[in-house]
Structures are given as C-alpha cells and as structure tokens.
Structure 1
Amino acid sequence: MQLVRGLHNLRPQHRGCVATIGNFDGVHRGHQAILMRLRERAAELSLPSCVVIFEPQPREFFTPDTAPPRLARLRDKLELFAAEGVDRVLCLAFNPRLRELSAEAFVRQVLIDGLGVRHLEVGDDFRFGCDRAGDFAFLQRAGAAAGFTVEAATTIEVDGRRVSSTRVREALADGDFPQAQRLLGRHYVIDGRVLHGQKLARQLGWPTANVQLKRVRAPFSGVYLVSAYVDGRKWPGVANIGTRPSVDGDGRAHLEVHLLNFAGDLYGKRMRVAFHHKLRNERRFASLDELKAAIAADVAAAQVYWLGAPLQ
C-alpha cells in the first residue's frame, strides 16, 4: 500500500482511481463495508483504490479540547487499510489553508486535478469544504459535470443501530468489550513501543511494560484483563490505562501492562495489547501500600481469569 502525504506529493501516475473520503477512526465494520465496496468498484474499473483522510481529524483541528479521543492513530489506520486491501492512501494536512478551501475548490484540486477520480464512495451524510457547504448532492452534480460517478455507502447496523466510531467509544467507555468487538469485527487493541518509565511498579513487586500511546487522551480508563502480543507470541496479562492519579505525572494517558509469568527484557519492543474485560475503575490510593495491595489483587484476578479461560 502506498502513502501519499499532501497534495504536493501527488504525481501524474497517481491520477485515475476509485476513492473514498473520511476519518475512518477505528476502521469499524461500517468502514469495512465502504472499503469492500471500494475494492469491488476498483476491480470493475481496473483502477487502484484510494482512501483520502485528514491529519489531524477535523474536530481535533476545530475543537482540540473537546474532540473525542481517538480510537486509532494514523499508524493504526494505515495498517488496517493495508489489511483491507487498499492500494493507496492520500493523507491531507487539515490546516487553516485546507479549512478555507471551498467545496468547489476541494473537488477541483483534490478529486479532479489531484487524483483524477473516476468513482467516489462516500456516506450520504458526508460534508466537506469551508463551512461544510459541500454534501452528497453537491458531489453528484460535480461528478456529473466532471465525468466521475458518486455512490452512497451502505449503512451497516448492529442491534438496529448504525455502526459508528461514537458507538465504539461508548462501548469501550462502558467496558462492554464484546459489543466493541461486534462493532469493530475484531478485539480492540492498542499497539505501541515499550519505553522506560518510572519503574514504580517494579519497586512494588509487579513489573509493568510502559507502552507508548502517542495520544493525549485514551478512549477509556481503568484496569483491564488483556492479552499482549510480543515477538509473535501471546501473553495473558493485566493492564492499567489512565493518568495514574496515585503517582505524580504529566496528566497524559499512560498504558502499563503486567504480563503473567513473563521474564525478560521488553524495552524497545512493539507490544500489541488486546482488551477483554474491565476489572475496576482507576482510582487514587492514599499510600503506596494501598496501591501495592490493589495491584496484587488485580494480578490475582487476572491469574484466576486466564487459568480458568484459555485465550481466544
């Protein structure tokens, strides 16, 4: 899969494609349906498929303090796109210049002059351009004039409701990981490199891997039963994700994972953490002794859970 960063990096060989546009946060089952249709139309027209995304996501640009926490970083999205068979991703920097682009200019510069789109798959509620003036009807008219077709993506429902990134966040925040799995079509995972931390958990007798999040906020917080993938091997474990209120910190979200019966050096390795069950909320403890006792209870619960139920 090819990644193109910005319109200025588009070349003549990039013209002529079947495209879709959106945030694709989490690449859930609704997104997967769009990408499946994108592949089908690309095959019918013998053209490459292209996904157009934005960094940061528009709401992160307009209201960074209240934008919803991300389900997936850019790296995660690219890996998921590749797994879905996408040929090319155009990542546009969402900045003041792009924000001021009219709907007409966006279609001309991005879709026509930039990508030479022959077919476009978008949701029927898709809005774009300055002040969100462009919509599905506008794209249909623009496509008819410029020679590309436009099709509305099929809505995917679970339990009679549309699958959305918002629903996934709600399920994760509620600790309803079976529901999140149904909406995503897979376990929710966080992937990151293991970094050096304060090593407080090691001092308390329960060494943890400090997994790099690369995000200010996480979509949920608390203590969870997890399975972690390191060097192609799966390990059962327990994890805390949150701001660590019992430890003086920077206010950012952190992910710390204790692997059961693991001995070895994890620093610098990539760890993929899948979440299965919530044990408790994150809380502030009055002393390190209380924190140590709580961690011991969490690890004991994880040992009982994983010994009684094999990893799926």
Structure 2
Amino acid sequence: MKKSSSILVNKKDITAIALGGFDGMHIAHQELFNHLGDKGAVVSIESEYANLTPKTYRQEYCKYPIYYYILENIKHLSGEEFISLLKEEFPNLEKIVVGFDFCFGKNRKNCISELKNLFHGEVTVVDEIKLDGIPVHSRIIRDYIKDGDIKQANRLLGKEYKIFGNQIKGQGLGSKSFVPTINLNIEDFILPTEGVYLTKTIINEEELPSVTFLGHRVTTDGSFAVETHIIDKNIKNRFSLVQIKFIDKIRDNKKFNSFEELKKQIELDLKMAKDLLK
C-alpha cells in the first residue's frame, strides 16, 4: 500500500474526535477509534518522539480523517484555551474520546477530570488495554522493537511493524559475491536491533517474502546498512519508495572471518527464512 494521504472532510461535519499522540496506531489506539461513530475524526498531537508511524503514515491504519497538531505550537495553551481551539476548529463537536492517561494544556496540568469540566459534551475515557498482562503503550512497543522482539511488538501493534525507505546504491558486493539486495535509506522510523530478519518487502504495492539485514557490515566495510533480499526473485529495477514489514528475527549481526563464511551463513539465513515461511 502506498503512503496514504489525509481524508478530506469538512470539519463542520465532525461531531466526535479522538485525542492523543497515536504513534504506532496500535491496538489500544484502535479501541479509541471504535468509539467515534459515523462522523468521527482523529486529532494527533505531533511530538518529536513519533517514530513508529511518523508524520502522515498513520492514515493507512485509520478510516477516519486525521488532523495533525504540532505540540510545539500548542503546548503554551492553557487547558481552557486548548478546548476553545478544538471547539473553534470543530464547531459541531459533541464528543471527545481519550485514553485513561490523557493530559493536556500547559505543562500537562489538565487531565481527565479537567477535560470533563471544560468540555460541555460527552467525554469517553478508554481504560488501559493489556495483552496477556502487558500494557499496550507506544513506549513499550518501541522497547520490543529495539530489542529485536518483533513478534511481541507485532502482537501489541495488531499488525506487522513496517518502515518506509528510499532505495540507494549499495556496495555492489551482493549480486556479485552473495545475493542481490535492495539497499535503503531509512529516515524517521525506529529500527530493530542489528541483525537479520524475516520480512515482507513491498514494491509497487506487491508484497514479496524477503530477508532483511540491518546493522553495520562488520565483515566488509563496517558501514551501517539496511538491505533486503527478495526470496527466489531477482529485482533489477530501481524504486523510489520501498516498504518493509518485519515478521521475525533470524539472528544477531556478527562478524565473519571470510567472505566464504559469510556466504555460507547467508545460505543458512535463507533456508531458515523459507522454513519460517512454511
């Protein structure tokens, strides 16, 4: 799927909004959206910490229009001023949906009780969502991703963790000495710990099974790389935008004593990936 653009809706037609950061668009966020009804929208407060689904990538995971408010531009507002802004932006607003830990206003001084006092309409508060006793929060998902525990991160996300990148020129060793790879430049997205992963690579909206390496090329030039190999398919064309979905971790990054050792390990990686796909 291509990166989605915002859905155009007249703000006067919106009667309910969900408020929050919504980085990750995970299963707890989806529960908030379930309370919006037919004339809902999402108000995403943008901070510099959003790196699970940064910028406008969130729209892919939501059927409602998403409006982005830069935290830096509104953090000086008092609680009352913030609610007044929302009423001005959405003149027919009747309902606000938030998570149990939502706070707002200058220095986050206002929380649920103040929201109910300041907003003269319905306030729906969604309790903390847990999966097998694990609280579903973006910060916890980030920790799982950074640790390389992709399967657990995906469970909390309710989908496969996905990054977007632009294709760049690689070393040129892959197609000559090892396996052909698509090398990517990744910006904005948090990356899993260094290693080899079972993935799906999406090119021109086609989802292809793949193995992705990310980390420092400690056996060759030592530089950091994100490179993906399409299983049983040689992709020769260049692409401006490539998407990678992470499914599972195959192994950690490691240094090999020779190209021959590395080549044998790559063959083992591919075999394991195919076994996991089965």
TM-score, scaled to structure 2? 0.84
User: Which of 100, 116, 119 is the matching residue for 1:143?
Assistant: 119
Residue type of the alignment partner of 2:117: R
User: Which of 220, 228, 234 is the matching residue for 2:193?
Assistant: 220
Tell me the CA shift for residue 164 of structure 1.
1.3
Residue 118 of structure 1 pairs with residue 89 of structure 2: no
Tell me the CA shift for residue 133 of structure 1.
1.3
Q: Give me the whole-angstrom Cα distance separating, in 1, the residues matched to 2:87 and 2:19.
A: 14
User: Which of 265, 268, 277 is the matching residue for 1:301?
Assistant: 268
Q: Give me the whole-angstrom Cα distance separating, in 2, the residues matched to 1:297 and 1:73.
A: 37
Tell me the CA shift for residue 221 of structure 1.
2.9
Tell me the CA shift for residue 203 of structure 1.
5.1
Describe the shift of the 1:199–1:123 C-alpha distance in structure 2 as closer, same or farther (beyond 3 A).
same
User: Which of 155, 161, 179 is the matching residue for 1:182?
Assistant: 155
Tell me the CA shift for residue 33 of structure 1.
0.9
User: Which of 7, 16, 30 is the matching residue for 1:32?
Assistant: 30
Matched ranges for 1:1-312 at <5 A: 3=6, 13-15=10-12, 16-38=14-36, 42-43=37-38, 48-55=39-46, 57=47, 60=48, 67=49, 70-81=51-62, 85-86=63-64, 88-95=65-72, 97-109=73-85, 111-116=86-91, 117-144=93-120, 148-202=121-175, 204-215=177-188, 217-242=190-215, 244=217, 247=221, 249=223, 254-283=225-254, 285=255, 290=258, 292-293=259-260, 295-310=262-277
Query: What whole-Å deviation, never above 9, does each CA across 1:175-231 have from its counterpart, x for those lacking one?
Result: 333322221222222233433344354454333212342227524332212222323
How many pairs align? Answer: 272
Tell me the CA shift for residue 73 of structure 1.
2.2
**Contact 2:5/2:56, CA 8 A, preserved across alignment:** no
**Contact 2:211/2:273, CA 8 A, preserved across alignment:** no
Segments of 5+ residues of structure 1 without an aligned counterpart are 5-9, 61-66
Residue type of the alignment partner of 2:54: R
Describe the shift of the 1:298–1:172 C-alpha distance in structure 2 as closer, same or farther (beyond 3 A).
farther
Tell me the CA shift for residue 80 of structure 1.
1.2
Residue type of the alignment partner of 1:3: S
Give the structure with the higher percent helix: 1
The residue matched to 1:166 in structure 2 has which SS?
A: helix
Q: Give me the whole-angstrom Cα distance separating, in 2, the residues matched to 1:32 and 1:18.
A: 15
Q: CA RMSD in A?
A: 2.9
Q: Give me the whole-angstrom Cα distance separating, in 1, the residues matched to 2:59 and 2:162.
A: 14
**Contact 1:230/1:269, CA 8 A, preserved across alignment:** no
Describe the shift of the 1:303–1:32 C-alpha distance in structure 2 as closer, same or farther (beyond 3 A).
same
Query: What whole-Å deviation, never above 9, does each CA across 1:215-258 have from its counterpart, x for those lacking one?
Result: 27524332212222323444332212235566465xxx742111
Identity over aligned residues, as a percent?
25
Q: Which aligned runs of 4 or more in structure 1 are off by greater than 4 angstroms?
A: 243-246
**Contact 1:168/1:180, CA 8 A, preserved across alignment:** yes
The residue matched to 1:220 in structure 2 has which SS?
A: coil
TM-score, scaled to structure 1? 0.75
Q: Give me the whole-angstrom Cα distance separating, in 1, the residues matched to 2:95 and 2:225.
A: 42
